[in-house]
Amino acid sequence: MVNCMNEFKSRLGKSIESFLMFKHSVGLLYQTGEYYLHNFDKYNSVNGNYDYLDKKTVENWVHQLKEHTHSQYMGYMSYIREFGRYLNSIDNKSYILSDKYKSVRYKANIYLFSNEELHKFFQQIELHKSKTSKIKESLVLPAIFHFLYYFGARCKEARVLERKDVHLDLGYIDIIGSKAYRDRRLFISTESKAFFDKYDSLMNNIIPNRKYFFSDQIDKYYSSNSIPLYFNKIWDLAGLRRETEVKPRAYDLRHHFACENLLKWSSNGENVYAKLPYLMTYMGHSNLESTYYYLHLIPDFFPKYNQISFSSNDLIPEADEYEI
């Protein structure tokens, strides 16, 4: 809901409130956007007090903030541009901030796996396991990739996972000390429990009382480059394509997990928007906007959202790589 403690002051107030209500209705917290729109509202109230977005007022506000902002990330530009598109679709006269005013912003490069690619990838893992005696490639790294696939976890979360936090008998895994200290609990399916029961038993025979669930032979966790190197090796052995604009990575298994759940809920006729807070918590996002980014990746499956959002590319925020 719009923060009533900070009421809007200008003649644009009602329009800003309507825009924020739209944002909230589709599951976005939009707290940063709300902050900047409050800031613009105050500026507008003493600089013409227009009931639409005036070109000179908007650009002067942008220049004023730019002079006082030292960061390269100037998100206020995208927020006022979004609001301009929304309002212009209603009054046909509000100014939409020109693209020459662009914030420097990260846009996630995400590769979405096809089911066929994943089938070939994991099939190749099994073939490679049978051809090596190294514990790293015959047991641990294959298990890590199953973990990434089953739980949508971050690669580092898998690497540093401690065995004491894996409760196979109780059916859950605790992710401790993740990004921004957002601890969370992942519940284990029957299928994944059978897989990791077998893995854990084999590892116990090799390294009794180990500290790390996915440990090396001296009970240390693997380096950060071990996962991408193994991924690239298996991907190439499977003969899968690389000549794409966005290159596939191990981390994209996390994105696959999110999109697969959204598609499953949609095909089951469930309320996808009501499910987003659950997915947000499960994936360890700090806000719903980061989770909502996945709807942007698969807009064809959400025609209702596309219908109300004017342009999904414009109104769904780009997500920070740190978050997703």
Strands 184-187 and 166-167: unpaired
140 within 8 A of 158, measured Cβ to Cβ: no
pTM for the structure as a whole: 0.66
Q: What is the pLDDT of residue 164?
A: 97
Number of neighbouring beta carbons within 10 Å of residue 308 = 12
Q: CA geometry: angle at 32 spanning 94 and 107, to 5°?
A: 85
Crossing angle of helices 31-45/76-91, nearest 10°? 70
Crossing angle of helices 226-237/141-151, nearest 10°? 90
Residues 6+ apart with CB under 8 A from 162: 176, 211, 212, 213
What is the rounded distance in angstroms from the CA atom of residue 142 to the CA atom of residue 231? 10
20 within 8 A of 28, measured Cβ to Cβ: no
58 within 8 A of 65, measured Cβ to Cβ: no
What is the rounded distance in angstroms from the CA atom of residue 112 to the CA atom of residue 254? 10
pLDDT tens for the chain, 324 residues long, are: 444 445 899 999 999 999 999 877 765 667 778 889 999 999 999 999 999 999 999 999 999 988 876 554 466 788 898 899 899 999 999 999 987 886 554 556 788 899 999 999 999 999 999 998 889 999 999 999 999 999 999 999 999 999 999 999 999 999 987 655 568 899 999 999 999 999 999 999 999 999 999 999 999 999 999 999 999 999 999 999 888 888 999 999 999 999 999 888 888 888 887 888 888 888 888 766 678 778 777 654 444 444 333 333 333 333 444 456
CATH classification (class only), 115-237: mainly alpha
233 within 8 A of 136, measured Cβ to Cβ: no
105 within 8 A of 73, measured Cβ to Cβ: yes
Which residue has 């077998």 as its token pair?
198
Q: What is the pLDDT of residue 26?
A: 60
How is the chain split into domains, by residue range? 13-91, 115-237
DSSP secondary structure code for residue 172 in this structure: E
DSSP lists the bridge partners of residue 212 as 162
What is the rounded distance in angstroms from the CA atom of residue 238 to the CA atom of residue 121? 6
Q: What is the pLDDT of residue 318?
A: 39
64 within 8 A of 47, measured Cβ to Cβ: no
Q: What is the pLDDT of residue 280?
A: 85
